[in-house]
A and B are shown apart, each in its own frame.
Chain A
Amino acid sequence: MKKILSVLGAATMLASSMAMAADYPSKNIQFIVPWSAGGGADTAVRAMQPGLEKALGTTIVVRNIGGGGGAVGFSRAVASKPDGYTVTIPTNATFTLEGLGNVAFTRDDFEFIARVLVEPYVMAVRPNDDWSDLESLVNERKASGEPLRMGASGVGSSTHIVSLMLARELGIKMEVIPFDSGSAAVSAAMGGHIDGVVLNPSEVISAIDGNRLKAIVTTGEERSGVLPDAPTMHEAGYDFELAQWRGIAAPKGLDPAIEEQWVEAVKQMVEDPQFQKTARSIGTDVSPLYGEELDQFVERTSKPLIEEAGAIRQ
């Protein structure tokens, strides 16, 4: 009897969730971008928007909820109903915010649906007589004992935190100078006011194409599609890998059937050559990840970032 009941119960639950999922989506979906218009995450969402709308058959309304360096928008997203009509764009900032301790949410408050785009962090320096690649730079700095002065995109940003991690990994002294934005840091490096920057490729690609900065190492699993000449940390002989990523997440408690619909939609979107072209244009690599593998990726990426961000806080 008990068994029958539980089967029945499971069946009704399944049926109701299927019913919910069957007519999903029946209204507009709001996509929360936790930054103002114009940033990397905003551009990424606007690039995904047409493909997702086509695949899901509904309108996606992009809402820029800025403030607090992403804190306000993410807080609002996790406080929404997990009905699939509110999603947001998780990035490494989701983890650094947690580590800095300014927000009430943790990574466990999100249901990560997909990773869509990745871009490594890149260390780019001004062309210099003393160094031409990572090895010569590290040797020169180790010999002189002078700190390398590197710009990052903001205090507590993931570029700031990754800079500190890189300094430790390379065994050199580094003074990390937080600027108001990535482009402000690039401009200071181009003008010779600092030695270089640690940023994402999309922010430095113009400077590198114009031969004003040189990419000497990237932190991704593979070489970046837009910076094919820069070796990864692995290739340079260091055991370090950490990439910026952008994907889709909902508040915890999303119906698995709806999540499945989203995964299908993302799979359809990433196949679209137009989307692939757009992604390349904005300096990112399409590298989708779902389910179990995604959870492992989140675990692997969030841990060091949260720890390092916590250390800044001290």
Chain B
Amino acid sequence: MGDYVEALGLVFQWHVLLVIGGGTLLGLIMGALPGLTAAMAIALLLPLTFGMPPVMGMGMLLGTLCGAIAGGSVSATLLNIPGTPSSVATTLDAFPMARRGEAGRALGICIVASFVGGVFSAVVLSLLAPPIADFALRFGPAEYFALSVFGLVIIASVSSKSLIKGLVAGLIGLLIATVGTDPVAGVQRYTFNNLSLLTGVNLLPALIGLFAVSQVLKDVVDYFGGGPVEHSKNKMDHARPRWLETLRYWKVLLSSSVIGTIVGAIPGAGGSIGSFLSYDQAKKMSKTPEKFGTGHPEGIVASESSNNALVGGALIPMLTLGIPGEAATAVLMGGLMIQGISPGPTLFTDNGSIIYGIFIAFFVANIFMLLIQWFGIRMFVKVLQVPRKLLMALILMFCVIGVYAVDADIFNVYLMLGFGGLGYFLNRYDFGTAPVILGLILGPIAESNIRRALMLSGGDWSVLVTRPISLVFLLVAAAFLFFTLWQNRRQTTPHS
């Protein structure tokens, strides 16, 4: 208790609050620009924290992380460009809603759902971190494989029009995921002696290409094809946080926040699938699953609450075990270690006030995220008043800069343009691009883990069903698959 009081004193000083707010704002801006990831934003600010006390420095970096995730949703909503992989699921409903002229409403829902998800995960982080971390440790190779199979089943659910076409798109993703050095034997596959492909196809250029560049291509074709170019007809009075509308879906909010936190806490589970899992789950629970994908608020709520809950979840193994789940938390952990604080179980006993200070700073960062977006929402929507042909040129420019900045490697830019072409055709013929991303993220996790699992079991496949967590995931995956097929059938039969 004394630690908590001391921690409050560490956070509630005007200069600490100012720094957290500044970090959040910078994160929002960087997250909204395609290609600039949360990890890069944090790495850029890292040297600034060396001279700060630990809670202040970590507060700034946590603000940046929260801001970057939230900012990624702004561009996902307005432009169909997910700023980060975890906002891909947001594009599925938020962008159609924005296209209808309700961008303000879509953002308003995003803001509230993000805030709820973020705060939920902050509560879980401060109350339940150690037991959740212990649960996460029970994930061995077999469990990771089962989890990724479970994730791949979602392809069936995010395929908007035709299940077969969705599966084809998912398989394209899995196929591309085989490029690179074999994760266990070290043999090169489809790298064509290109150094940039040694570690496989980089996810970010693929993401930006499939979503942003393909959208630019579509608009260019529409523009020159003389087709209807949509003009902004956004009603500004919609542009405010939509508290009631969002909280009405409290069940979705709650379940998505839980899913986001837990998936976030499992290190290396491909955090970004958390928002897909929540979206899928919300669709299955919904009374109106057919509305998903057409600009349905429930879909936005599911994805947004989940991807912000991921952040708190990802902090759990990092702070309690010293295991960062993905790039952004790895940079955060580097920041902590430079401060002379080694994350892990001893952190709670040796540096109580600091760890509680970090929890409180994370709460505060979520509040800043809400406030900044609250005041900024009208400005965000105005982006759509920029004539579309200018906007598209600007977007393409930001995409090129952002993707080049990832590794300072021009090959990634070519890769992005290639994926842009692929994405354009996939969208045009209703295959969809979200399944490709799922395949790309989950393929390597599934492959390397099944091989590790078999190495450990001496080639015995039964490990997949004799380990309880693995068995549960595989059974649930099978049940979900049948449920989706059944739901699809029920939806299509009346029309045929």
A binding-site residues for B, Cβ under 8 Å: 36-39, 42-43, 46-47, 49-50, 63-69, 71-72, 75, 100, 102-103, 149, 155-156, 175, 177-181, 183-184, 186-188, 190-194, 202, 205-207, 209-212, 277-278, 280-283, 312-313
Contacts and interface: CB of A to CB of B under 8 A. Distances in A.
Interface stretch (B22-30, B183-191, B306-314): B183-191
Contact of A179 (B321, B334, B444, B452): B452
Given A180-B268, A187-B267, A210-B321, A67 B188 contact: no
Contacts of B406: 36, 66
A5 B198 CA distance: 52
29 contacts: A36-B407, A37-B46, A37-B331, A39-B330, A42-B334, A43-B334, A43-B337, A46-B46, A46-B338, A50-B47, A66-B407, A67-B412, A68-B195, A68-B199, A69-B181, A72-B195, A75-B195, A155-B186, A156-B181, A175-B455, A177-B455, A177-B456, A187-B323, A202-B337, A206-B343, A206-B345, A207-B322, A281-B341, A283-B337
B85 interface: no
Nearest to B343: A206
Nearest to B194: A68
A205 B322 contact: yes
Contacts of B186: 100, 155-156, 178, 312-313
Contacts of A36: 39, 327, 406-407
B452 A191 contact: no
A184 to B, nearest CB: 5
Contacts of A177: 184, 452, 455-456
B294 interface: no
Contacts, number: 171
B317 interface: yes
Given A43-B334, A155-B183, A186-B323, A64 B456 contact: no
A278 B51 CA distance: 11
Interface string B328-353: 10110010011111111110000000
Contacts of A39: 330
List of 3 A-B pairs having minimum Cβ-Cβ separation, nearest first = A206-B322, A206-B344, A37-B43
Contacts of B327: 36-38
Interface string B451-467: 01001100000000000
A210 B195 contact: no
Contacts of A181: 268
Interface of B: 39-40, 42-43, 46-47, 50, 136-141, 181-186, 188, 195-199, 202, 267-268, 317, 321-324, 327-328, 330-331, 334, 337-346, 406-409, 411-412, 444, 448, 452, 455-456
A166 to B, nearest CB: 18
A149 to B, nearest CB: 6
A191 B133 CA distance: 10
B408 A205 contact: no
A105 to B, nearest CB: 11
B196 A68 contact: yes
A47 B324 CA distance: 20
Given A67-B407, A281-B337, A184 B195 contact: no
A188 B321 contact: no
A154 to B, nearest CB: 8
B271 to A, nearest CB: 13
Nearest to B139: A191
Contacts of A37: 39-40, 42-43, 46, 327, 331
Given A184-B268, A191-B138, A102 B195 contact: yes
A155 B343 CA distance: 26
Contact of B321 (A69, A192, A207, A283): A207
Contacts of B182: 155
Contacts of A207: 321-322, 344
A187 B216 CA distance: 42
Given A37-B331, A155-B181, A177-B456, A49 B344 contact: no
B147 to A, nearest CB: 14
A76 B344 CA distance: 37
B199 A210 contact: no
